[in-house]
Structure 1
Amino acid sequence: MTRMIDIDPSESPRARFAYELRRHRLAARLTQKQLARRIGFSTSAVAMVETSKFRPSERFAELCDEAFGLDGVVTRLYAEVWPPPPPVPAHFRAWAVEERRATALRFWAPMLVPGMLQTENYARRVLSRLPGATEQEVEQRLSARMLRQAVLSRDDGPVITALIDEGVLHRPVGGPAVMREQLTHLVAMMRHPRVTVQIVPYGAEALSGLNGAYSIAEMRGNPYMVRVESQPWGRTLSERGLIADLVKGFDAIRADAYPQHLSIVMIEETMRGEWT
């Protein structure tokens, strides 16, 4: 019998698929070579899927179900791990998928309210300022951004932690009415049981975050994917060393942030003093 490899299914969605595929193959008493012959793929392809080094196709999952005599078990797992991409720009699709799968999301936002917490009017203003964006493109992207926020209403939705620079509260995106609505929404979201928002004050150096915004996706306590914003488009990355550095940076920024109850006070004071 093939020896079970050392792979942690809680490390990431892809690792979970790899682990379950190998488990079902061993239960069916098949070697990698035998499975490969049955489904018409190479032995190396099966090996790479089982070591989480290669993303299979949906057809691969369907054929595995047939080979194992399972009623769609592997195919359903495939749909959970690699759901259809949401209607967002191509450069953002990989991250949008992770937002729907992650059990926790962390956002560092030095310039704008994170998209996951934006109101429709705030998001429309941000998207309308993209160079060359047509009205139709703005509305399409706006619809996709609002759709992303549906994870917040799911019973099994991710835990959200957002660190927002104080300057974001004063940046006049769309004018006083839009800002007032946005900050009111932000306070309301801070009362959500799975949402924590902390304001990083001007007085905090937060030097590790001055290079730009980024987001971290976690699966059961394990950070496994990051989104780094840059021009002209951001990047979605999975390099472990980079993820570790950004997690350390996030923790350093959070150490300088106000706790949530004081952050609410700051937001409400800004609304009354600046956006009324």
Structure 2
Amino acid sequence: MPQRLVITGRSQEPRGRFTEELRRLRSERGLSLRELAKEVGWDASLLSKMESGRTLGGPEVVQALDQFHGTPGLLVTLWEVAVADPKQFKEQYRRYMLLESEAVSLWHYGVSRPPGLLQTDAYAREALAAGGLKGKELEQQVEARIGRRELLEGADAPTFRSILSEAVLRTPLPNRGEWREQLEHLLDMSERPNITLQVLPLSTAFHGLASTAMMFLRLLDSRTVAHAENDVRGELIEDASRVERFQRTYDAVRDTALSPAESRKFVLRMLEEVTCEPST
């Protein structure tokens, strides 16, 4: 097959082309992000994330931008191609990733692993490799997971609470140095003002999330959606009544977890144990 001819010199990657077009159209009008936000009725921070590629946004905001710029269907088409790009995320997670990037607050419970947002590069690679990925696909997914961590950075970063089962901290990486780095990373992240980390001891009585990892996302429109995941499948839950039931279960787990201060001490003890272990 002959190599595709590049005519415009613009990005040939769907997500990159979409963000380039957003920036070009705004620049041609000489508008700041705040001015554009006022014109289209969407939050400036969301538009900023879309232009930087941190999120693709949703069809509603893209349609509003198409209408404002007088480009009927152009941005929606580019958005659809970017969302469908197989190099991004697997289909079952694609909608969830879009919602996660737009969330104003997140609540997590981890059964066996820290959330991707709190994983080091080494941990992400080990976890994805354990799931069967390898070669180029593995590297692409590691890069994608690492990129998601930007969600928790910046002045407009959402608040994030992560409750980790003690089992997470009792299941180390094969490489002791990499495991130490992961524990140190958890401690560092827990010091950020927008992040709260708690540990649920193994001695806790049986509860409704004993075999299910959860993530709750509160969105700009005040809706809350949830993502539940066990050993065999993941599910995005948008039905309000089901989300409410899971939230009540999550609240009960949070109430029995160690306080943030006690949790930090717990992770510190785990780190000390790893540091003091004799080399083999």
Corresponding letter in the other structure for 2:124 = A
Which residue matches 1:104?
105
**CA shift for structure 1 position 82:** 9.6
Of residues 82-91 and 221-230 in structure 1, the stretch that sits farther from structure 2 once superposed is 82-91
**CA shift for structure 1 position 274:** 3.5
Q: In the TM superposition, what are the counterparts of 1:68-83 in structure 2 within 5 Å?
A: 70-71=68-69
Which residue matches 2:163?
163
Q: Within the alignment, does 1:250 sit opposite 2:253 as a pair? A: no
CA distance in 2, matches of 1:127, 1:248: 31
**Is 1:128–1:135's contact at 8 Å kept on the other side of the alignment?**
no
SS of the residue corresponding to residue 197 of structure 1 reads strand
Q: In the TM superposition, what are the counterparts of 1:51-90 in structure 2 within 5 Å?
A: 61=64, 65=67, 70-71=68-69, 85=83, 87-90=88-91
**CA shift for structure 1 position 91:** 1.4
**Is 1:122–1:178's contact at 8 Å kept on the other side of the alignment?**
yes
CA distance in 2, matches of 1:106, 1:59: 27
Structure 1 or 2, whichever has the larger Rg, is 1
Q: Within the alignment, does 1:219 sit opposite 2:196 as a pair? A: no
Of residues 213-222 and 248-257 in structure 1, the stretch that sits farther from structure 2 once superposed is 213-222
CA distance in 2, matches of 1:265, 1:56: 45
Of residues 221-230 and 92-101 in structure 1, the stretch that sits farther from structure 2 once superposed is 221-230
SS of the residue corresponding to residue 208 of structure 2 reads helix
Which residue matches 1:260?
260
- The 1:129/1:58 distance shift into structure 2, 3 A limit, reads same
- The 1:62/1:194 distance shift into structure 2, 3 A limit, reads closer
Corresponding letter in the other structure for 2:109 = W
Which residue matches 1:239?
239
Aligned residues: 216
* Cα deviation code 1:84-126 (max 9, x no counterpart): 5482222111111111100001110011011110000011100
Which residue matches 2:273?
273
Identity of aligned residues (%): 23
- The 1:196/1:221 distance shift into structure 2, 3 A limit, reads farther
- The 1:58/1:199 distance shift into structure 2, 3 A limit, reads closer
Which residue matches 1:177?
177
**CA shift for structure 1 position 255:** 0.4
- The runs of 5 or more residues in structure 1 that have no matched partner are 1-19, 22-54
Corresponding letter in the other structure for 1:109 = G
**CA shift for structure 1 position 229:** 0.8
Of residues 166-175 and 263-272 in structure 1, the stretch that sits farther from structure 2 once superposed is 166-175
**Is 2:213–2:228's contact at 8 Å kept on the other side of the alignment?**
yes
CA RMSD of aligned residues (A): 3.2
CA distance in 1, matches of 2:258, 2:62: 49
Which residue matches 2:124?
123
CA distance in 2, matches of 1:113, 1:275: 20
- The 1:268/1:57 distance shift into structure 2, 3 A limit, reads closer
**Is 2:102–2:220's contact at 8 Å kept on the other side of the alignment?**
no
SS of the residue corresponding to residue 108 of structure 2 reads strand
- The runs of 5 or more residues in structure 2 that have no matched partner are 1-40, 43-57
Corresponding letter in the other structure for 2:114 = V
Which residue matches 1:229?
229
Which residue matches 1:14?
none
Which residue matches 2:27?
none
**Is 1:198–1:257's contact at 8 Å kept on the other side of the alignment?**
yes
**CA shift for structure 1 position 172:** 1.9
CA distance in 1, matches of 2:62, 2:262: 52
Which residue matches 1:44?
none
**CA shift for structure 1 position 186:** 0.2
CA distance in 2, matches of 1:59, 1:113: 33
**CA shift for structure 1 position 231:** 4.3
Q: In the TM superposition, what are the counterparts of 1:11-22 in structure 2 within 5 Å?
A: none
- The 1:214/1:198 distance shift into structure 2, 3 A limit, reads same
Task: State the structure with bigger RCO (CA 8 A, min sep 6), 1 or 2.
Answer: 1
- The 1:136/1:233 distance shift into structure 2, 3 A limit, reads farther
CA distance in 2, matches of 1:117, 1:219: 20
